[in-house]
Chain A
């Protein structure tokens, strides 16, 4: 192990820190509680506010700011106490949120939370295709979670985007797609988008895992299915589909779809595209980082030129949501030019074709006149309305806003909350929001004192006045959450209320757990 010595030293150091965090007072019976609140730089204001609320209920709290990778390594080693973290969901289902974050031993379970009843509820929801069964199971999971309070439950942020007033029919979506096929312009025929990313990773739909790369790629590539702005899955390349059993599906593929190079799309291309993602070492000896997105999908086989069969190792209730994120590539072209060249000169069957691009500067695409039209559920159907689309990488939010105001760009991602209101008043601009798909919270280390005691964890939830913090820092662009489930996701229980701000209750819970206020 290459980091063994680093890890060993940090564990020793941090264990000492944690051990000393509970100090006994003179009378020996009551302890005073001191915690370190870990955060990354982008949320340090919030962490300071949280620490202030904790101090108000007698906890001595201190904030420490980290670089994320360094912090994560220490969290996983079990040496930290409470940490501000966030987690995004792409499937509109707890499948990629509550499950990885809170199931015993799962990949994102940084709070070391474990409750067999909670695990059983999740497994029941994941093992069934019956939405009523799944909903009931998820409701039960939320009840358990709220009582166990492994996190200081937090909030989700609205995704705010802005555009020039002369951009027509533009609507930000909850997922990573920016549908520029449907967007028009009053004047001109080139749309320039100011991306919040510093760079995207690739133009090959099989070799990335981040959202921004997907935003660009999905204007050049289409998948079997796609999603409406409100999260409904609708056909795209696929005409329709049916489930043969819990683990077998048949997809019928639209005829007459052309790739940008003139090749006709057939079942072979679909099979090849899936194979690149799910087969180990399929991309020049490397496995696609997107393999995990497809869960138990074991194979995609050709039935005839326009039909494929998907086989699963076990039931996968979020299959359709997962398929949205697999884009189809042209088999013959890719086999001829190879993976590296394909990433340089990508060819898809989406509404725009690649012209040129530098991934940390700008990517230019032109309308593909041979486009089959896209999903019939997302009108207008036909070629894109604008002639050219340019994605520009503009990581600085102030600069994005300035460029939008001067008209250098037409649409910008991620408008800072404190600027949204003033932009909204500008008659030349329009500001729109989409519901967030990312949970922001404070995870507590439930495996160690003091947070192995549920009373202490509940006290933390009652001690913090989130409404004030969110109003101040996010200017109202955030929504409180009752647990780790999102309102935009499947199976969300609207009846469950978030923990109330109640410092008195927090103090008495702490006293019950044996801690004295300072």
Chain B
């Protein structure tokens, strides 16, 4: 019999738990979308429905929207088990295709926003803890407070007006100009450009990523800095750090090997949660920067009451959250061996 480690058991447990969760999310999204007023066919026809509304009625029948809700739900779930996410009502194309097309843009933006947040947040947090109660500490924490509070739509527009329009450092919007795209492998432009050794594409994709990634990542950077600072302060005050110092370990090694590694655990949890919210919360940034990602697809689908698209995207988001939490768990265990024993 194969003996599994605790970690492997946990991964299997968590994976199995996603099935009922996905089902619950699917049903909830299905029911909630139908409870809000408005009708996709009515919205699609806009001002055009014929006088008797017979066009609307006919289209609704063709789309199966006139059936009782329980029957619609059961045919939706049956299709779901076959792996069929359905067909967009408004855009007349398979939902899976739309999500596959839009997801890489969203993931790439979220990853770069997170990299930016970590690159800025962790050093600032550590430095603020080391220089506790100095001017640097106070100023950086005040800045992070502002960073958390700035709304993304405002920040995005200001960034475009200053850095793109006035200074010309970065393009205003979009992902990459037509004709420069690297060959499609993963859909993540920077990765595809690297894999194919296409340097002009890499440069252009990075330039396009700058402003949206900073806009999206700034708030996260602020939170990361605050959490890193406080957990660093906790750890620096603990007995083992005192002991390490007493033993004569150089200060840099105390900070990096002894303190930072332990102080990172709350930050890792935070990063997991924040990454989920970066994926889900970038609708505004995507709209401002004309970024062709999932956020815009979802917002548009909600307003247009495009039920199949909303249902599928909500499920994708939910499963992503689950996956990220699982990964966070694994990283925890690597950082803190005590966790594996619990």
Contacts and interface: CB of A to CB of B under 8 A. Distances in A.
Interface of A: 2-3, 6, 10, 67, 69-70, 72-74, 87-88, 96, 100, 105-108, 198-199, 201-202, 204, 207, 209-210, 280-281, 285-287, 289-293, 340, 343, 358-362, 364, 390, 392-396, 398-399, 402-403, 405-406, 408
Contacts of B173: 392, 394, 396, 399, 403, 408
Given A2-B69, A406-B172, A395 B290 contact: yes
Contacts of B48: 209, 289-290, 292-293
B35 interface: yes
Nearest to B66: A2
B37 A198 contact: no
Q: Return the 5 tightest CB-CB contacts between A and B, nearest first.
A: A69-B38, A361-B292, A402-B165, A73-B37, A292-B50
Interface in B1-48: 34-39, 42-48
A286 B45 CA distance: 14
26 contacts: A67-B38, A69-B43, A69-B305, A88-B47, A96-B47, A107-B49, A201-B90, A202-B93, A204-B92, A280-B58, A281-B62, A292-B48, A292-B49, A361-B175, A362-B178, A392-B173, A392-B174, A393-B292, A394-B173, A398-B161, A399-B173, A399-B288, A402-B160, A402-B165, A403-B172, A406-B172
A209 B164 contact: no
A392 B290 contact: yes
A287 B47 contact: no
Given A88-B47, A100-B51, A396 B164 contact: no
Contacts of B58: 280, 287
A402 B36 contact: no
A423 B118 CA distance: 40
Interface in B281-307: 287-290, 292, 296-297, 300, 303, 305
A127 B59 CA distance: 28
Given A281-B62, A286-B62, A394-B173, A358 B292 contact: yes
Contacts of A362: 174, 178
B303 to A, nearest CB: 8
A107 B46 contact: no
Given A107-B53, A340-B93, A364 B178 contact: yes
Given A100-B47, A106-B51, A392-B173, 6 more contacts: A74-B37, A360-B297, A361-B292, A362-B178, A396-B290, A408-B171
Contacts of A390: 178
A349 B110 CA distance: 42
Contacts of B42: 69, 72
Contacts of B51: 100, 105-107
B290 A394 contact: yes
A395 to B, nearest CB: 6
A486 to B, nearest CB: 14
Nearest to B55: A292
B121 to A, nearest CB: 27
Nearest to B38: A69
Contacts of B161: 398, 402
Contacts of B53: 107
Contacts of A202: 91-93
A405 B292 CA distance: 22
Contacts of A394: 173, 290
Nearest to B94: A340
A343 B91 CA distance: 10
A408 B93 contact: no
